[in-house]
Amino acid sequence: MVSFAPYFKGLRLAREDLVSPRSMPQMRGVMPEHVISEPVVIALDGPAASGKGTLAKAIAEHYGFAYLDTGSLYRGVAYLLLRAGADPANAAAAEVAARAFSLEAVEGADIRTREVGAAASVVAAQPAVRQALLDFQRDFARRPPRGAKGAVLDGRDIGTVVCPGATVKFFVMASPAVRAHRRFLELKAARPDLSEADVLADLEERDARDAARADAPMARAEDAELLDTTHLTIEAAFAAARRVIDGVVRRCED
């Protein structure tokens, strides 16, 4: 049994069949059999607070795959720059930090502070940093750490840019109001002055920015399975995702 945060109660799957007649003979969200190769790569994209991170962790744990929260990478680079006393706006220093980045270097570090977040926004705007971290993500998928047989990556452009050939792709979404409520519950203890309306406005602004950016915009890959988690329990979303993944993993093992 997978344990999930209580604020995910009431999520719902989009009213699309995971394997529909329209998508046959190829399952939507799954690469054609003749191009499936090891390691298995599972891509989850979608907006903030859609549930993709919780779902990705559950998938990775269930299958014994390596997990990468790609959204944390820029924060990790920013944290290392700040710890070294470097200016995040220094493009050369930021590129060096990004090229040398490792998950072990930030293990246990608090990368969720406002200071790190502000610095992450600065480094994320630098093309050399973005390229370095793109290379990092692709290498993670090609060679999952600790000998894992597969990798699970969640972000906003995994299925379209980072790993367009991923074995299985999902686009996870939820209504803005539900996403705002989830994020508000996460933040209210640390920020008692925060209102749910403020969170909603911030999420909608971020969605528009992510979808409109010229470099790797957030978008659903054409072959990605849609999971609308607005009213679905995370257990049900996990079960639906697992049905798709089990089918392709069995074909990989044949």
Domain limits, the chain = 1-65+148-254, 71-143
Q: In what side-by-side order are the strands of the sheet with 66-69?
A: 66-69, 150-155, 40-45, 168-173, 225-228
pLDDT at site 118: 85
Answer yes or no: is pLDDT of 249 > 80: no
Q: What is the mean pLDDT of residues 14-27?
A: 33
Per residue in 26-60, pLDDT (tens digit) is 445 544 443 445 789 999 999 988 999 999 999 99
Tokens for 109, please give them. Answer: 């570090």
CA 151, CA 94: separation in Å to the nearest integer?
Answer: 27
Chain centroid offset of residue 251 CA: 25
Residue 175: count of CB within 10 angstroms of its CB: 14
Tell me what pLDDT residue 28 has.
53
Q: Compute the average pLDDT of residues 121-126.
A: 87
137-173 pLDDT, tens digit each: 999 999 999 999 999 999 989 999 999 999 999 999 9
Instruction: Please name the fold of domain 1-65+148-254.
Output: Rossmann fold (3.40.50)
Which DSSP category does 69 fall into? Answer: E
C-alpha dihedral, 232 to 54 to 29 to 202, nearest 10°: 80
Backbone angles phi, psi at 45, to 5 degrees: -115, 160
Q: Average pLDDT, whole number, for the chain?
A: 83
What integer is the mean pLDDT of 224-234? 90
Q: Which residues contact 212 (CB under 8 A, 6 or more apart)?
A: none
Percent of the chain with pLDDT over 90: 60
pLDDT number for residue 217: 82
Task: Centre a 10 Å sphere on the Cβ of residue 97 and count the other Cβ atoms it contains.
Answer: 24
More confident residue, 10 or 54: 54
* For range 111-127, the mean pLDDT: 87
Asked if 122 and 78 count as a contact pair (C-beta separation under 8 A), the reply is: yes
In the chain, the percentage of residues whose pLDDT exceeds 70 is: 84
pLDDT in tens, 84-101: 999 999 999 999 999 999
